[in-house]
């Protein structure tokens, strides 16, 4: 446990909390947190998670742009209704296939001791982040599952501050789900 991990954890917690509040300010905070966690994960040999932080920077910029287009007069972002359930399941299945491909690459070319867990959690994190950028309420359900599994992974790697953070993220995901339960007038249908 070092100072960098603490700063990354605090920035991440702030970013997720701001996301739950539907405030656009979450995105620049998440960019900074992703950069910090990229360094933490390289040091812990969590290569897929380190690369994931780079993807998060790109998705955070995308989310920032998407959310600026969906801000209400009071400063909160409108929640978007996700596309059909069938389309969401296609997203889930495609993400699983991509995650398994990444796991094979990690097994072949790195010393990652848990390539399948690292890869699948990274893949589903990308999907959850994309859904959040699109303002889908369902992103919070996926984050709750992913963060619960990440908690176990980080405990196994002795990243205790990060494990506690991800356990707290499960609670923030529940809270985000509740806060994003906007009335239909505050929702926009996504295609």
pLDDT at 107 over 60: yes
Rounded Cα distance between 5 and 48, Å, is 17
Q: Looking at residue 10, what is its pLDDT?
A: 95
Main-chain phi, psi angles of 77, to 5 degrees: -85, 140
189 bridge partner residues: 81
- Residue positions counted in the chain: 191
101 or 189: which leads in pLDDT? 101
Burial class (CB in 10 A: 0-12, 13-18, 19+), 121: buried
Q: What is the pTM of this model?
A: 0.84
pLDDT at 83 over 90: no
SS3 state of residue 78:
coil
82 secondary structure, DSSP code: P
24-69: per-residue pLDDT in tens? 999 999 999 999 999 998 888 878 788 889 999 999 999 999 888 8
pLDDT at 190 over 80: no
Main-chain phi, psi angles of 187, to 5 degrees: -110, 150
Q: Looking at residue 73, what is its pLDDT?
A: 61
Main-chain phi, psi angles of 69, to 5 degrees: -80, -15
The answer to whether 70 and 78 have CB atoms below 8 angstroms apart is yes
Q: Looking at residue 173, what is its pLDDT?
A: 95
The answer to whether 113 and 146 have CB atoms below 8 angstroms apart is no
pLDDT at 188 over 50: no
121-159: per-residue pLDDT in tens? 999 999 999 999 998 999 999 999 999 999 999 999 888
Q: Looking at residue 182, what is its pLDDT?
A: 54
Task: Name the E strands within the chain.
Answer: 79-81, 187-189
Give the CA distances from residue 160 to residues 5, 140, 155, in Å, rounded to whole numbers and listed in that order. Answer: 9, 23, 6
pLDDT at 187 over 50: no
Rounded Cα distance between 55 and 133, Å, is 13
Mean pLDDT (the chain) is 88
């Amino acid at each position: 446990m070092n100072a960098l991990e603490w700063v990354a954890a605090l920035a991440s917690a702030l970013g997720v909390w701001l996301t739950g509040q539907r405030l656009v300010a979450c995105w620049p905070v998440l960019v900074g947190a992703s950069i910090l966690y990229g360094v933490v994960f390289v040091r812990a040999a969590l290569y897929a998670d380190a690369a994931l932080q780079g993807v998060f920077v790109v998705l955070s910029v995308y989310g920032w742009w998407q959310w600026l287009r969906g801000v209400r007069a009071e400063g909160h972002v409108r929640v978007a209704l996700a596309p059909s359930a069938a389309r969401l399941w296609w997203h889930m299945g495609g993400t699983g296939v991509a995650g398994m491909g990444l796991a094979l690459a990690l097994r072949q070319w790195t010393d990652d001791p848990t390539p399948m867990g690292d890869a699948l959690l990274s893949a589903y994190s990308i999907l959850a982040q994309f859904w959040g950028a699109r303002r889908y309420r369902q992103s919070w359900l996926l984050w709750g599952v992913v963060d619960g599994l990440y908690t176990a992974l980080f405990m196994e790697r002795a990243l205790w501050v990060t494990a506690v953070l991800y356990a707290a993220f499960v609670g923030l995901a529940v809270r985000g789900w509740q806060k994003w339960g906007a009335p239909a007038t505050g929702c926009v249908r996504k295609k």
